[in-house]
Amino acid sequence: MHIESRYNGPTDSGNGGWSAGLFAAEAGPGPVEVTLRRPPPLETALSLVDGEVRDPAGELVAEVRPAGVVDAVVPPVDRETAVEASTRYPGFVAHPYPGCFVCGPSRTDGLRIFPGRLPDGRTAAPFRAPEQVSDATVWAALDCPGGWTVLAPGRPYLLGRIAAVVDARPAPGDECVVTGALIGVDGRKALVHTSLYGPGGALLGAARATWIAR
């Protein structure tokens, strides 16, 4: 495995959702939970052995474990509501990682998912599936909309742990909607849920994640 440089979150490390999705695909079928032990390195050969992702020096990058039931569905909204919410995306004003592959406003070649708040506190964003879609694409789409339920200017968080279920992949060009919800905050940890819906409103995937305040 290796994470191409274009799939970054922070400038010098992989986007958490994309990286976790890559590790999950390597682990094989069945829901898994990925715990990131350090920022996933870019353009580095990584190996998965006995549930541990390590770099060539043997340093632990992540742990992959069976997830059991991932009950993390966030109710959908229609695309018009998601588009309107995205106009309030806080990342347009201040973004800790503006070059993020998933939600970075400075990226023209990323997923360009810009989640804004709904009146009930959830986040929502439209998402057009790219020309090439993998399970890692879905994991990535399920990542940042959860983080933006708790992210705020001057309050950066990073993904620490995520478990996702991919029921189906969107087809290239599909106009989808992503929703996120903050479940609770415990000290530096925030538990969030996210869901991805296809053009007809079908649930494509859902995730639960823990984000850690820096």
pTM for this prediction: 0.96
Q: What is the pLDDT of residues 38-58, one digit of tens each?
A: 999 999 999 999 999 999 999
pLDDT at 72 over 80: yes
pLDDT band at 30 (very low <50, low <70, confident <90, very high): confident
Give 57's DSSP letter.
Answer: T
Q: Average per-residue pLDDT in the chain?
A: 96
Q: What is the pLDDT of residues 176-212, one digit of tens each?
A: 999 999 999 999 999 999 999 999 999 999 999 999 9
CA separation, residue 130 to residues 5, 56, 100, 171, 199 (Å): 17, 31, 16, 8, 14
Greatest extent of the chain over all pairs of C-alpha atoms, in Å: 48
Q: What is the pLDDT of residues 110-145, one digit of tens each?
A: 999 999 999 999 999 999 999 999 999 999 999 999
47 in Cβ contact with 1 (< 8 Å) = yes
65 in Cβ contact with 98 (< 8 Å) = no
18 in Cβ contact with 140 (< 8 Å) = yes
Q: What is the mean pLDDT of residues 28-47?
A: 95
Q: What is the DSSP annotation of 7-49?
A: GBSSTTSB-HHHHHHHHHHHH-SS-EEEEESSPPPSS---EEE
pLDDT of residue 69: 86
pLDDT at 11 over 80: yes
pLDDT of residue 21: 98
Q: Cβ atoms within 10 A of the Cβ of 18, count?
A: 28
pLDDT at 152 over 80: no
- Taking Cα atoms as reference points, which of 196, 163, 149 lies closest to residue 21? 163
